[in-house]
Amino acid sequence: MINVNNLSKKYGSTTVLSLSSLTITKGEHFGLVGNNGAGKTTLFSLILDLIQASSGEVTINSINVAKSEAWKNQTAAFVDDNFLIDYLTPEEYFDFVAQLRKIDPKTLKDFLVRFEEFFNGEVLNQKKYIRDFSKGNQKKIGLAAAFIGQPELIILDEPFANLDPSSQIRLKNFLSSDENKGTTLLVSSHDLNHVTDVCDRIVLLEKGEVIKDTPKSAATLKELETYFSEQ
């Protein structure tokens, strides 16, 4: 699904990311962990062609993201607030995204029903602009929008941050549910518990380089905790 070749990103003389090669297969739930400044968001931004690589390339389904826009019809992401149109109501926002992804209103409605529990009655029919919602609810809106139309690839940066405990658990269950089995999911998180629960492969970044790349096993969480406590 995703191929990364000799990818690097430099700002001046500082290298913030340097990956010789990384392959993410279709349907993989890929977890990215690392301390601040490790390069997680940089990697996601490079995959989404939001920043320009200093060298190397990223391909999604063999399409070079920097050269063509064709990858966009199978990709969705929620990286930060810049993915929300804050003067829209959640309904209008979902509708906007759905129309871009060619989803008809009926399908969208059915889709949103499944998020009812996650939204906890605080998102839909509120007659409020997104900018007037709390941070947590804004996050829920952005996350839900990323799943509209079942894109093949979904990239979520820190999806658990700002969510209340119940919502974190609901999100975790949703990400691991059957309907997302075939979806390639890229998740970064500072919460080692959640990320090991949701993902079946964990990559640990530090200072822009891969330190650890393992399939998840029973021991993964312990290993990660040991690693980070020694930092």
Partner 1 sequence: MNLFSLQRKETFRAPQWETKLSIKIIMTLVMLYFLVAFILGASFIYPGLNKAVQTKEPVEIFNSILLYFFFFEFILRFFLQQLPVTNIQSLILLPIKKSRIINHVLLRSVFSGFNLFPFIIYLPFAISMYRDDYLLTQVVAWWGALALFTFCINFLIYIINKDNRFFVGLLVLLAATIALDKYTAINLGEMAGTVFDQVVETPVLFGAFLIPAFLSYGMVYLFLKRGLYMDAGLKQKKTQVRGGEFAFLNVFGEDALFLKNDLRMIIRNVRPRQIVVMSFLFLFYGLVFFPQEIYRNQPYILAFAGLFVTGGFTLTFGNYVPAWDSSYYKLLMTQNLSYKKYLLSKWNLMAFVTAFCALLSTPYLYFGWDVLAIIIAGSFFNIGLGTWITLFGGLLNKSPMKLNVKAKAFENTQAFSLNQFLLTIPKMILPAVLYGVPAQFVSPTAGIVSLAGAGVLGLVFRQQMAEKITQLYIKQKHETIEAFNK
Residue 98 buriedness (CB in 10 A; 0-12 / 13-18 / 19+): buried
Ordered alpha helix ranges (H), the chain: 40-47, 90-100, 105-113, 116-119, 135-147, 165-176, 192-198, 220-230
Chosen residue from 32, 48, 171, 203 binding partner 1 by CB under 8 A = 48
Stretch that binds partner 1, among 23-31, 43-51, 56-64, 184-192 (CB under 8 A): 43-51
Considering only 24, 97, 143, 154, the residue that binds partner 1 (CB under 8 A) is 97
Q: Which residues in 53-82 contact partner 1 (CB under 8 A)?
A: 69, 72-73, 75-77, 79-82
Asked if 83 touches partner 1 (CB under 8 A), the answer is yes
181 and 26 Cβ atoms separated by less than 8 Å: no
Among the residue ranges 26-34, 87-95, 169-177, 216-224, the one whose residues contact partner 1 (CB under 8 A)? 87-95
Q: Which of 15, 56, 96, 111 binds partner 1 (CB under 8 A)?
A: 96
Give the separation between CA 117 and CA 172, rounded to whole angstroms.
13
Distance of closest approach, residue 215 Cβ to partner 1, in angstroms: 28
Least Cβ distance, residue 115 to partner 1 (angstroms): 19
Q: Interface with partner 1 includes 43 (CB under 8 A)?
A: no
Distance, CA of 202 to CA of 196 (rounded, Å) = 7
| DSSP string over 124-158 | TT----GGGS-HHHHHHHHHHHHHTT--SEEEEES
Q: Among candidates 179, 169, 187, which has minimal Cα distance to 79?
A: 187
- Site map 124..163 versus partner 1, x via CB under 8 A: ---xxx-xx-------------------------------
Task: Compute the least distance from the CB of residue 204 to partner 1, in Å.
Answer: 26
All residues at 6 or more sequence positions from 10 whose CB lies less than 8 Å from its CB, including other chains? 16, 54
Binding site residues, partner 1, CB under 8 A: 48-52, 69, 72-73, 75-77, 79-89, 92, 96-97, 99-102, 127-129, 131-132
